[in-house]
Amino acid sequence: MSVQGPYWARAVEVARHDPRAIAARDIPASPGVYIWFRDGEPIYVGEAKGAKGLKSRLRAHLAKGIDLSRSTLRASVAVAELGVTRAFARQRPSVMTADQITHVNDWLSGCELGWHERATPASAHELEVSLRNEWTPPLNIL
């Protein structure tokens, strides 16, 4: 594992799920931090602190539609994999082609997803900041 530090040591032990098999009912509505993994390595970390917590935030990342404006993760995959700019990927209405969206969706299908529920939105934010202060995953940098 390329990440180091006490927060990441605990974070990567999270149960991981295949994004193709996750149903909305399986995702908690509590605040939390979520981590996307590819080939066993964390590639993206984010926080969910809104009214519907993880369920609402992960729904945007698990979407398959052409609009990437609501998912920083999906837009970051487009930047990394397709060489488009963030502004291009996040444009509304979307200017992404069906082939480009298929590539983003297929790439994310090869990932795993885990999350840590937190008691409060502030606790979720604190954990995400602590993780990113130790090490920032590659798709968070784009």
Summarize pLDDT for 23-45 with one digit per residue, the tens: 989 999 999 999 999 999 999 99
Say which residues have a Cβ less than 8 Å from residue 36's Cβ, sequence separation at least 6: 42, 43, 44, 45, 61, 73, 108, 111, 112, 113, 137, 139
Opening angle at CA 12, ends 10 and 13, nearest 5? 70
For residue 14, what is the domain's CATH number?
Answer: 3.40.1440.10
pLDDT digits (tens, 9 = 90+) for 75-100: 999 999 999 999 999 999 999 999 99
Range of the domain at 63: 6-141
* Within a domain: 126: yes
pLDDT at 1 over 70: no
Predicted confidence (pLDDT) per residue in 57-75, tens digit: 999 999 999 999 999 999 9
pLDDT band at residue 120 using 50, 70 and 90 as cut-offs? very high
Residue 1 located in a structural domain: no
